[in-house]
């Protein structure tokens, strides 16, 4: 049995940053990261898009080997394929996650964390001073004793369950996703495309995220309960046949996007949950990569603080949860309501809305004018607008480091 | 509720399963696990609710006959 101060379960972006930050903030503490898969960063189950500002909080993307494509445009596509350009500046990047996460893991290792791949946490129970975590690998079964466990083990998280937290997801908050890496397709390689449509992707949206010229992550997410009985892959096949007939398929991946709001409890005694394991995806956009890193950073800091204070109780770790809620979690409550409202709109309304917005000249296309025009011409949007403008608490500034 | 009453239980088709893990947090009794050897369903823990079937992105899950 090996004893460590912090055991991070899961080597995705959240887990890597948690290990990095814990090792950085608690020099001398032992930090170990366990990754189930043989390689950090693979397999990719993600459209790989990040905002420029989000990723830059952690690493400089310009010229980095883990960037596949710089994105300068966002194009919303109506159900009838009308394209509505909505932003054109420094939007973000499509990453190569098979290189991005290894870069994060290297930073964690340089800060003093130990990264073990092909090592799966298989169970966990409360011991005298912290947790006893069972792990399996080709080396055989081993037992770890950890004062703090960070559960960054994704949508299939078990750490939360083992710690007695309620991590169950309702079917209405689960988006089923399917994605191809397509080649030989025609699209603007500087733009990401998002198509909202009940016909093509009920309860979610379809996307094109370019990895290069003629190569893109092309996928969609659906809510199974809102569909016609076909699964996500079948919906994707229909959409690809419609939009990119003749494209070459390089890879397929299935995925899950939990569009629920953050778990009401993300902490237990000696445990913090991070990223997908804590339901921290933006419920409106489905984006979760930067969110997981932000949560990982908070969890790493609070792990270091709790060790320093000699108090790893749930009550003391609760500050992690509170700071996450102030940073993004509270906004997600609002995004979740907007998402529900948007899903109530018919394809006909979305088609008309797209033409209304396109009739506004580009340079006059301010958010306020778009809203005003949309509401005047499409009164059925009022319920959506009511939710959009519903009172919400102001977001606090980023919390200071503890 | 263990499977003593002969109710249906979830079955996974390993040829179709892409190991995305979507079904795991949908399972109230925690009968489904995704480990380094793939997806497993513990039939003695499955309560036969069937909530994992429709959301599977690739149609890899079904229910056994009761």
- Torsions phi, psi for A328 (to 5 deg): -140, -30
Distance from C-alpha of B4 to C-alpha of B45, rounded to nearest angstrom: 10
pLDDT category at A360 given cuts 50, 70, 90 is confident
In the stretch 4-23 of chain B, residues with CB closer than 8 A to chain A read 18, 20-22
Model pTM?
Answer: 0.92
Judged by average pLDDT, the poorest of A18-27, A176-185, A266-275, A358-367 is A358-367
Judged by average pLDDT, the poorest of A89-103, A206-220, A302-316, A362-376 is A362-376
Residue B21's domain spans which residues? Answer: 8-65
Mean pLDDT value across residues A52-59: 96
State residue A86's pLDDT score.
80
Which residues in chain B are contacts of A163 at CB distance < 8 A?
A: none
Distance from C-alpha of A261 to C-alpha of A337, rounded to nearest angstrom: 10
Q: Is A273 an interface residue toward B (CB < 8 Å)?
A: no
Plot region of B22 (φ>0 → left; ψ -120 to 50 → alpha; else → beta): alpha
Residue B29: inside a domain, yes or no? yes
Residue B1: inside a domain, yes or no? no
Q: A257: cis peptide before it, omega within 30°?
A: no
Residue B24: inside a domain, yes or no? yes
Q: Name the nearest CA neighbour of A174 among A217, A204, A206, A208.
A: A204
pLDDT at residue A319 above 90?
yes
**A246-287: pLDDT as tens digits:** 999 999 999 999 999 999 999 999 999 999 999 999 999 999
Which residues in chain A are contacts of B20 at CB distance < 8 A?
A: 45, 155, 177, 253-256
Contact criterion met (CB < 8 Å) for B21 and A156: yes
Q: Name the nearest CA neighbour of A159 among A18, A26, A319.
A: A18
pLDDT at residue A369 above 80?
no
Contact criterion met (CB < 8 Å) for A258 and B35: no
One DSSP character per residue, A268-313 reads ETTEEE-GGGGT-S-TTT---HHHHHHHHHHHHHHHHHHHHHT---
**A169-199: pLDDT as tens digits:** 999 999 999 999 999 999 999 999 999 999 9
ipTM score assigned to the predicted complex: 0.93
Q: Closest CB to A155: pick one of B24, B33, B58.
A: B24
State residue A400's pLDDT score.
55
**A380-395: pLDDT as tens digits:** 676 666 665 555 555 5
State residue A345's pLDDT score.
87
Contact criterion met (CB < 8 Å) for A254 and B28: no
State residue B3's pLDDT score.
46
Contact criterion met (CB < 8 Å) for B57 and A255: yes
Q: Is B26 an interface residue toward A (CB < 8 Å)?
A: yes
Nearest CA in chain B to A122: B35
- Torsions phi, psi for A330 (to 5 deg): -70, -35
- In this prediction, the residues of chain B whose per-residue pLDDT falls under 70 are 1-5, 66
Q: Calculate the average pLDDT of chain A.
A: 92
**A96-126: pLDDT as tens digits:** 999 999 999 999 999 999 999 999 999 999 9
Distance from C-alpha of A353 to C-alpha of A378, rounded to nearest angstrom: 7
Nearest CA in chain B to A179: B57
Contact criterion met (CB < 8 Å) for B21 and A155: yes
Which residues in chain B are contacts of A37 at CB distance < 8 A?
A: 36
Judged by average pLDDT, the poorest of A25-29, A34-38, A90-94 is A90-94
Distance from CA of B21 to the nearest CA of A (A): 5
Nearest CA in chain B to A231: B57
pLDDT at residue A44 above 80?
yes
Residue B3: inside a domain, yes or no? no
Contact criterion met (CB < 8 Å) for B25 and A155: yes
Q: Please tell me the total count of domains within chain B.
A: 1
Q: Closest CB to B55: pick one of A118, A171, A253.
A: A171
Contact criterion met (CB < 8 Å) for A176 and B57: yes
pLDDT category at A223 given cuts 50, 70, 90 is very high
pLDDT category at A133 given cuts 50, 70, 90 is very high
Percentage, residues of chain A above pLDDT 90: 80
Mean pLDDT value across residues A301-325: 98
**A146-155: pLDDT as tens digits:** 999 999 999 9
State residue A181's pLDDT score.
98
Give which of B19, B20, B28, B42 to mutate to test A binding, by max A Cβ within 10 Å: B20
Residue B31: inside a domain, yes or no? yes
State residue A384's pLDDT score.
66
Q: Is B2 an interface residue toward A (CB < 8 Å)?
A: no
Mean pLDDT value across residues A336-357: 88
Q: Closest CB to B22: pick one of A37, A174, A229.
A: A174
Residue B56: inside a domain, yes or no? yes
Mean pLDDT value across residues A318-345: 92
Here the CATH number for the domain that contains residue B30 is 3.30.70.20
Residue B2: inside a domain, yes or no? no
């Amino acid at each position: 049995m090996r004893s460590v101060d912090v055991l991070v379960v899961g080597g995705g972006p959240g887990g890597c940053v948690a290990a990095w930050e814990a090792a950085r903030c608690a020099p001398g503490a032992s930090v170990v990261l366990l990754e189930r898969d043989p390689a950090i960063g693979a397999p990719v189950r993600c459209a790989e898009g990040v905002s420029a500002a989000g990723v830059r909080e952690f690493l400089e993307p310009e010229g980095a080997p883990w960037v596949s494509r710089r994105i300068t445009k966002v194009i919303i596509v109506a159900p009838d394929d009308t394209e509505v350009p909505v932003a054109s500046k420094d939007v973000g990047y499509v990453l190569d996650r098979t290189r991005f996460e290894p870069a994060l893991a290297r930073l964690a290792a340089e800060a003093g964390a130990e990264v073990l791949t092909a090592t799966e946490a298989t169970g966990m129970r409360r011991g005298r001073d912290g947790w006893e975590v069972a792990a399996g690998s080709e080396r055989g079964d081993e037992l770890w004793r950890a004062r703090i466990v960070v559960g960054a083990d994704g949508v299939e998280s078990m750490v939360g369950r083992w710690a007695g937290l309620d991590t169950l997801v309702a079917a209405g908050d689960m988006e089923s996703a399917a994605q191809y890496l397509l080649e030989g397709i025609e699209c603007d390689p500087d733009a990401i495309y998002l198509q909202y449509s009940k016909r093509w992707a009920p309860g979610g949206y379809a996307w094109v995220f370019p990895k290069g010229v003629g190569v893109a992550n092309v996928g969609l997410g659906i809510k199974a309960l809102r569909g016609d009985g076909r699964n996500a892959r079948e919906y994707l096949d229909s959409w690809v046949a419609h939009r990119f007939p003749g494209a070459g398929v390089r890879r397929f991946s299935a995925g899950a996007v939990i569009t629920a709001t953050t778990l009401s409890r993300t902490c237990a005694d000696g445990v913090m949950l991070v990223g997908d394991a804590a339901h921290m995806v933006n419920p409106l956009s489905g984006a979760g990569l930067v969110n997981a890193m932000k949560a990982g950073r908070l969890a790493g800091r609070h792990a270091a603080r709790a060790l320093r204070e000699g108090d790893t109780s749930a009550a003391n770790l609760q500050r992690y949860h509170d700071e996450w809620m102030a940073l993004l979690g509270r906004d997600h409550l609002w995004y979740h309501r907007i998402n529900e409202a948007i899903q109530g709109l018919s394809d006909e309304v979305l088609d008309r809305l797209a033409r209304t917005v396109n009739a506004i000249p580009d340079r006059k296309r301010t958010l306020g004018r778009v809203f005003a025009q949309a509401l005047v011409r499409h009164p059925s949007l009022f319920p959506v607008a009511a939710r959009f403008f519903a009172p919400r608490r102001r977001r606090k500034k980023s919390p200071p480091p503890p | 509720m263990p499977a003593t009453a002969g109710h249906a239980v979830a079955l996974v088709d390993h040829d179709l399963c892409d190991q995305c893990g979507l079904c795991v947090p949908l399972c109230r009794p925690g009968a489904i696990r995704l480990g380094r050897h793939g997806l497993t369903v513990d039939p003695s823990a499955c309560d036969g609710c069937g909530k994992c079937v429709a959301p599977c992105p690739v149609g890899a899950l079904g229910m056994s006959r009761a």
